[in-house]
Amino acid sequence: MLRSAWTELIDEVFDQLVAAGFDDLRPVHRSILRDMLVSNLRPSELGARLGLSKQAANDLVREFETKGYITLEPDLDDGRAKRIVATERGWQASDTAQASSTAVGRRWAELVGEERYAVFEEVLRAIAAATRTP
C-alpha cells in the first residue's frame, strides 16, 4: 500500500518537473537532487549519504553540474575540497518538486480527511526518525 502511494507521489512530482521544463530529470534522481540542493555537501559526503562509491558520486555531481543544477565551489574549511551549491535552475527544480509534493499531500488529505492525513504524516515522521541512520 505504501509503495502504491509512494509511486503516485513520485510520478506526479516528475510529471510536474517535466511540465516545468526539467525534462532531463528522472525519478532515480529524486534523492540525489534533494541532497545536492539542500545540504551544501562535498561530493564524497553525498556519496556516503547515498551509499555510492566516490567515483559514482563524482559522476553524478558532474552530470548535475553539466545540466546546470549545481556548481562546485571551494570549501572554505578545506582548500583542496569543493562543496556542492545549487544554482538558480537547481532551486527552481527543487521548488517545483516541493510544490508538486505539497499538492499531492493536499489531494490525499481531501480524499481521506484532514485528521486522518495528519495522523498518516505523523506516523511517517515517527518511522523516518526511528529508522534514520546516523
| Tens digits of residue pLDDT in 100-127 | 999 999 999 999 999 999 999 999 999 9
| Residues spanned by the domain of 84 | 2-131
**Average pLDDT estimate for 12-24:** 95
Say what the pLDDT of residue 32 is: 76
Q: Mean pLDDT for the chain?
A: 90
Task: Convert the pLDDT of each residue in 24-43 to its tens digit.
Answer: 998 778 777 777 777 788 89
The DSSP line for 42-77 is -HHHHHHHHT--HHHHHHHHHHHHHTTSEEEEEETT
**Average pLDDT estimate for 37-58:** 86
SS3 string, 96-130, reads HHHHHHHHHHHHHHHHHCHHHHHHHHHHHHHHHHH
- CA-closest candidate to residue 37, choices 102, 95, 103, 101: 95
What's the total number of domains in the chain?
Answer: 1
Q: What is the CATH number of the domain that holds 15?
A: 1.10.10.10
**Average pLDDT estimate for 50-58:** 88
**Average pLDDT estimate for 72-82:** 89
Q: Judge whether 61 and 52 are in contact, CB under 8 Å.
A: no
Prediction pTM value: 0.82
Say what the pLDDT of residue 133 is: 58
**Average pLDDT estimate for 50-74:** 91
Give residue 112's identity as a one-letter amino acid code: V
Say what the pLDDT of residue 51 is: 87
